[in-house]
Structures are given as C-alpha cells and as structure tokens.
Structure 1
C-alpha cells in the first residue's frame, strides 16, 4: 500500500528552500501536522547557510498553484471543541508562534498567494518579505462569519491598513481580489498566474549570490503599482472610525441610500453580533501593540472563544456548525442582535486566562 503524500512538501533546490502546501481537497487548510512541518522547516533553514531564501506556495486539485491556503481546519476546531481535545490548544499556540517566526524571519520569505488565501493563509503570508498575488487571488479575514475574530496576527496587520480600512475588512470579512490587495497594502506585487510555474522553477535553478538577490529576482517579474481603491475610502473612514459597533451601524443606516453603505450594513447584520464588538476592540487595541503582544492578546481571545461558553454554546462552535458542518447557514448567534451586546460581554474576552509568566506565548520576543 502506498503511503499518503505529505501535506507539506519541503525541499531545497539550489540555494532556496521551497515549501508546497499539499492538501488540495481541503484547499490547503492548515492542520496541526502542517503547522509543525512548516515550523520545523523554517527553524532548520534559519541556521542553514546553504539556504539563502524561502518560497511558499499551495497546490489545487489540478496541480501546483491555484489555491494557497483557505485558513485553519475549522472542522477540526468544531470536533476538538466538542470532544475537549487538548490539541485545539496546541493548534493555536503553535500556529501563532509560526506566524511570529515568519514575520521575524531573518531571510527573505516569499509567499505566492495564488487562489484562495484566507484566515490562517493570511497568517503564513502577511509576514512575508514579499507577498505575491495574481488575478486568481482571493484574500480575506472572514472570521466574524463563523463567530471568531481575525486572528493569526490579523489585529496587527489589519490595524496597520490606512485609515479605518482595517476595521472595515475585519468586521465585514470583505474578499479582496489580487490587485485590490495591493490597494489595501496587503500584497506587494502582482503577476499573471500562468507565469508562476516558470518563475518557481527558476528559483531552484538560478545561481543566486544571496537572499536579497532571490527577492530582487522575483520582484523584477512583478507589477507593484496599486490601482485606485475600489471602496469609498472617505465613507469607510466615516463609518468605521465610529467609537462603537452600534455607532458604525447608525452611520451606515444614515447613508443607506448609497449602495456601498446598504451592502455593508446587510453584511454586518449577518455576522456574529458578539464578535463584531470583540473585533472592533481587538483592532483598536492592536493598533498600539507590537506583533508579539498582539499575538499574545489573540491567544487570550481564542481561548475565550472556546471556553467562556464551552462546547456547543461557544459562538465559534455554533458559527462553524452553521457554515461547515450542518451547512444550514443559519447560525443562532448569542446575543442575537448587535444592540444586545453589553460592554461586560466584550470585556470578558479580554480578561487574560493566564498570568503573564505562564502565557503559552510568553517567549515571543
């Protein structure tokens, strides 16, 4: 019997470490096994003088590229939360440590974000020294749709978008096409997808002098000019700069004759009311935090997501049930309305579950 293919393919070609996410049926959704494989490769290559740069891509059912990473394995989250599986805790601790490793990596780390790149996929690409998109790219942090928050450093990188764009993307989960990601500051360059296989092959066959030369080579194939933003930035700032979620909703209602405002309002009304409030607070706090402190805060938040109301009562477990398990797309949010979320509901998420000396991510610099 042939052994199953690895879910992460790790190889060194020439002087470049090449990583391929290889779980196409799940759109390369990250498992704990995959997170561990990624971390092990990056730590080994960090000290290896034979590896001067790293590149990462995904595969789809047809072959290389076409899908990057759809996020964390939410069906695993659902099963693990209901079963009390301790690997759920390991998953988030190790995933966030991996995100930190990527953001602080001392060698060029180039992410080819072709196809879907959401949630956990953003976590392993936003810290890259070069973020490459194509006409097939679909970027988003859609966690409020499953009763979660934009984690994996989402507080850090979304809060650094211009104006209040970060709040807009975090609360609505809007999907960005490739060139739109350039406009949002969430990608560095664009290339036609059909050119990726040759560019990838050249990474292993070109005699690069150093890591910077690898990155310059890839950059020379990219278009970096960002188009005009497709969202009305003045309206985004006016609405999402408000002090609270009810105030954001009121601002959108006041402008509801405008198509963008009406569509945005309708989207917010479908999201978890509780997590909209939590996410607004998360982004606002993260704006004043460094990466390590943001990841520690997010580790606290995700613990609360699964344990403030354990098992099936968790907003996150219910959101995943509705989207990915029963697929009835009718989550029973609790509280049910944006207006019913109290400051106490929100504050509970930000109470640290651990003392600082025992925090699972205390060692992050």
Structure 2
C-alpha cells in the first residue's frame, strides 16, 4: 500500500521538501503502533525543519510533522487496539523518527495519548504542540512559585508572541480561567483578534524586545513567554514579587542576557516548559485540562485548514512571521 507524505531530503547541505508517494514498507521498523493519520499541523519547529532554517532533522530522509492525530490501524502494544483514537506530540517525531505530515505513521505506543472524547482529530491538531505547550505553561503558573500558585486575582498575566500558536491558545485558556491577560505582539493589526480571544489589553512587542534594566517596575503576576532573548529578560525584570515566568520558545533568540536580580531580590520563578519529552502523566493532565478549559469557539477562531500540498508554503509563511493562530493540515486532501 502507498501513502502520501511530506518528505525531506538533503543534498550538499540544502534541504528539499516535496509531497511524495511512499510504500508502507518504508515506514520505520522501530515502532509498534501503525496509525492512520487524519490531521497534522504546522508548528514553528516544523517550519524550521521544512525550510532547513535550523538543523532540526537528525536523520535523512525524514517525513516531517511533529504532531499527528488519527486512528490505530494495527498494534503490538497491549495498551492500544485497532480503532483507538490517539494524538502524538513530540518525542523526536519529525526529527529522528518519521513524522505525521503523512497519511501513515508507525510510532511507539508509549508516545501516544488517548484523544479526549471532547475533541475530533481536527480539533486536536488545531491545538497541536503549540496549544499543548500553552496548557503546560498554564499548569506551571498554577503550580506557582515562592508564594504559591498564580491566581486570577493576583494581577495581570503577560503572554508574548501573542498572535502565534502558543500565544493565541494561552490567551484563550487564561481568559476562560478568569485571568486578566495582556498580549504582546509585533502585529498591531491583530489587536482586535487578540481581544476577541480574551486579551484585556494589547501592547507592542517593541516595549519588551530591546535591552532593559535588570529590575523594572513590577507589573506581571505571571508570564507565558514563547519569544526568549531580551523579551524574556524584560518580562522577568517586570514580574511582581513571587511571580512566575514560563519559558517555552525562542522566536527572538536562544540567548538570555539577564541578571539574577529578579530571582534573588523578588523571588521570581523561571519555569522551563518542555513539550517534547514530557512524561505521559503530565501529557494526559494537559490534554484533560485542554478538553475542560479551551472553549471550542475560541479554538475555531484561531484555526485555518490547508491540504498537505500547501504545507511547504505554510512553513515558509510561519518562518516569515506571516501567520497567526493555528494551521491544521488535512493529510488526506
């Protein structure tokens, strides 16, 4: 049996991407669950891999796609049976193991999470790694820091990279939970969109993007940051005593040119968010909470759908900063 997939190859250090027909026998043998993929998505990491902008891919050739949702076709893992609905996020899929921008994927059973009944496969990919990461960040705010959880009444919560996948889902979740959310974005034309998601206020990312003082006026009770670099540094410098900052991205850069002052003088907690290798128990909690705390109308508002053949152009768009919200890929169209 053949299936279509977005295949990445490399020659002379350059990455080439093409939708290709592959034989099912070509799927990796180091997987014990065969999944019929319904939908995938395009994340920032997918954009890096497909465009070759960063060395995301570690084995060649590679089927792209770090996320997938679909139905089990065959399994030698006792936890999974034919017909089970599953979702996959991370675990090196699309990097070291063939990914889910394809009609078929052979995966390890312990990478899979049972898809909550509240979601269709399409909705699961409208969430994707970006939305799942946003939920991990919310859980970290709720775990809290030196003064305990960051609660809705504690003050404003800043969300950076607000029009992106992580940011838009974080706004939708936090506002539904009762937090007053301030969205930071470089796309000022998206202010109405962000307010419709639940942002109480919108600020220009330029306010945070340049080098600043080690300690600044206290404002934020918590922060969800997907940008990194000076934006993350300034966010930390503006957090109120005992507040929590979650760091889950590097859109501005991997550097962190910071001072220890916010951490030792204001008791600020900086919580790193890893979505790739998070343990199953945490993944299951995150997906359960997404089913509970992410309103379907808000999810639909940030989602658009494309065909597999359009995924290469979408990857270039996300790298150029020309995309908002979430993009769902129908791998069977």
TM-score by length of 2: 0.26
More helix by share: 1
TM-score by length of 1: 0.24
More strand by share: 2
